[in-house]
Structure formats: structure tokens, C-alpha cells
Amino acid sequence: MGTDYPTCPIPGHAGRQVVRDGFDGTKPRRRQRFRCKDPDGRGFHRFTPELPRVEMLEACPECDSDPAALNGPTVPRGYRYTSREVGSALAYLARGGTYQAATAAVQLHSGLRPDGGWVRHGQVAADWVEVFANAVCAPDAETSWPRIAMLDATKFYRRTRGTKKPAFYLYAIYGYDGVGQRGRMWKMAVYPDLSAANWLDLMSQLPGQPKVSVSDRGTDLVRALATGWPQCRPIWCHLHLRLNLAAALEKDERVRNGRPAPFHHTSAVRDALDEALSDYAHWDALCDALETEGLRGSALYGTAGSIDLFIKRQFRLRGYGLPVSTGPVEQALTTMRRHLSLRVPGLANRARTNLLLELMRLGLNDLADEQVFAERVRHELHRSHGSVAKPRAIKDPKGRPSF
């Protein structure tokens, strides 16, 4: 890294003598200031570079060098934290850390809070998500839908004064570039409710359509798939289908108000149900057992009849190695529940929450690298000449929260 002095940013001042002129700010985060002298030597003015750098008080732990103050770490204009610290905090958030913990860690590392004391809130890290998340996530953003997509959603609750109320739904689409490829989280977003319109909104955020989708039989999702991805071949998750059939059997044999159960399924039906989704032969065995036992009108008979044609169509796809379960996307949503469940009260703005989710998508895909994130922050600062957007600009209208 060189030690050349910067050129004065004022037009027409190129070639004028530039010398150091003290520092802006206070230790441990002073920024080198410079003096631009008039040609006659009588006048001058002070400036700081477009991309400021903070003074380094000790040798760099990575290269063991002792750079001059003007070649210290880069900082956004108006900030006291370095690009590396911003990148480190964003990587921590991507891996599921909280705003408060990320803020505490970066303040301790920077020396701005040397006692390591309790941090009351995480506004510093939350502001960085709003300002830098798009720049950090853009290089890893998906550009079109995968060939195979798995769709699912999960519900989060907000607990206040001993009561539990719905807060929002987290929608997720997990994908594969092809059969046998490694899967990854493709897209996540939060919505205030569960509806076909929300699924259609999420499906419209990238071009193209998957060749195959795997999902449950939720009414809203089935309707959205037919409308938003009409050329996509749907597969219903076999685990959910098995649960649907088991629920129908339980409904048939449930005793209500002391009255006998309307239907009683024999061991032949139960045995056939256990392996019904394995192949054609076992599915036909279940359907034959329901007919033989005279169970027309039962919930199990109705459920089996409603999915009969679809199941047989799915059996024909078995030889292609396509997934028949939403297990991978459900596993990812379980991880997200672990990361977010205790933070729901602090997630009140949908747009800001979706920025955080894009960071966490990179974490789920093992792409949360603090060095890479720091380099992307520095690249953004060079592009914007050291200036960044004003934080807390994303706000809900007064009295109308996002969710």
C-alpha cells in the first residue's frame, strides 16, 4: 500500500501542494486531515479524502505492518467503524446473530467500548443492514428460478402480556439447478398473512419458471402455482400426503359425543396405508382394500380419491430421480425459526426484515464470509466516493406498521 498524499477534490486544484494537517475526530478513530496550499503559499484550505481512513495505533494483525495514518483501514464518511468491522457484523447477522450481539462485538473490537459492557440495543448493526445489505448480497443474488423448486412457509407469533398473536409468515423457496445438484436457499420473504397473492408476489421476483415444484397441498399455494408458474410440473410432498391420509383415517375412527365412530378400518386397510405411496402396486392395494371393505363415504376414501390421479402421475416421474419431499426447505425453515423466534418483537418493518433475510439466506448457503463482505463494503465505498445512504430511511407510514 503506498503512502502518496491524496489530490485535493476541488476542481482546478490538481497539482497543488498537499500536506498533512492533523486529524478529524478523537482516538482511537482519528481520520487524517490534509491541507491544500494556494500556489502563492499565502492561503490554504483543509480537506479529508473522499474515502477516509482511520489512524492505526498498532501493527496490522494480518500482515504485521505498521502503516501510516493515511493508509489505515477505510471507513464510510461520517462513520467511526471500518469496512472490516461492518463486514464482520453483517457476516455475524447472516449466520443468525442478533443486532444487539453484533453491535456489542464490533464496539468491543473497535475500542469504542473497551469495557465490553452491556449494549442496550443493536441499532448500529441494524443500520448497517439497511445501508449495506444490498451491496453485500448483490454478487450472490439469484438471477432466475431453479429447475427444481421447493416451496413452504412457516408462521411466527408475537407474544405480549402472556398472549400469543400472529406476527408474520416466512415464505421460502429452496432450489436445485438440476437432479443430483446441491440445493440452496433461493429466496425468502416475510408477509403479514398466508395467501395466494403473496406467493404470486414472491414468484414474480425472478424471471422464468422451474421445471418442477415440490410442495404441500395448501390451497393458496396450489392456486398460486397454477397461476404463477403454469408450465411448472407440481409434485406434492409424499410426507404431507401420508399425513393427510393418516388424518383422514383418524377422523373416520374418532368418537364424537359418545357416539360410535362412523367407520372402522380393518388391518388390511391399515397395512395397505403404510406402504401406499411406495409405488403403483401398493397404492392400488390401498384403493382395492377401501372398495372391498365397503368404505365409500369415509374420509379416507374421499382423500385417496382426490389425489389418485395425481399420485399415479407422480409415480411415473420416479425414474428421473426427482425429490418427492419438502424436507430440505423445512430443515432450513427450522433453522430460521431458531434464529428468529425470540427476535419477533423487534421485527416490525417488512422491508428491513427482508433485507436481513437476504443476508441470512447467504448464511444458510454457507456464503457468510466476513472478509468477502468487508471487501464488498469497500468496493461500495469506492463506488460511492466514501458516501453512504442515510440510515433509518425505510419507515412505515405512521400508525400503519408493515405487520
Does 176 map to a domain? no
Q: Residue 223, class by beta-carbon neighbours within 10 Å (0-12 exposed, 13-18 middle, 19+ buried)?
A: middle
pLDDT band at 64 (very low <50, low <70, confident <90, very high): very low
Using one digit for the tens of pLDDT, what is the confidence trace for 136-187?
999 999 999 999 999 999 999 988 777 888 999 999 999 999 888 899 999 9
Does 302 map to a domain? yes
Q: Which domain holds residue 280?
A: 239-320
pLDDT band at 77 (very low <50, low <70, confident <90, very high): confident
> Domain boundary residue among 29, 44, 69?
69
Structural domains of the chain, count: 2
CA dist 99 and 122 (Å) reads 4
**Dihedral over alpha carbons 312, 174, 227, 277 (to 10 degrees):** 10
CB contact at 8 A, 142 and 186: yes
Q: Quote the cell numbers at residue 306.
A: 382426490
> pLDDT at residue 366 above 70?
yes
Does 397 map to a domain? no
- Of the candidates 397, 393, 402, 398, the one whose C-alpha atom is nearest the C-alpha of residue 127 is 393
Does 277 map to a domain? yes
**Average pLDDT of span 7-34:** 85
> Domain boundary residue among 52, 69, 86?
69
Q: Cα–Cα distances in Å, from 149 out to 195, 310, 319, 355? A: 19, 18, 18, 22
> pLDDT at residue 364 above 50?
yes
Does 309 map to a domain? yes
Does 330 map to a domain? no
Does 296 map to a domain? yes
pTM, entire model: 0.84
Using one digit for the tens of pLDDT, what is the confidence trace for 189-220?
999 999 999 999 999 999 999 999 999 999 99
Q: What integer pLDDT is reported at residue 116 of this predicted model?
A: 53
User: Which residues on adjacent β-strands are paired with residue 190?
Assistant: 170
CB contact at 8 A, 140 and 369: no
Q: What integer pLDDT is reported at residue 69 of this predicted model?
A: 53
Does 118 map to a domain? no
Sheet holding 148-160, edge to edge: 184-191, 163-176, 148-160, 212-215, 233-236
> Domain boundary residue among 263, 289, 320?
320
Q: Cα–Cα distances in Å, from 330 out to 1, 73, 154, 171, 214? A: 48, 41, 9, 11, 12
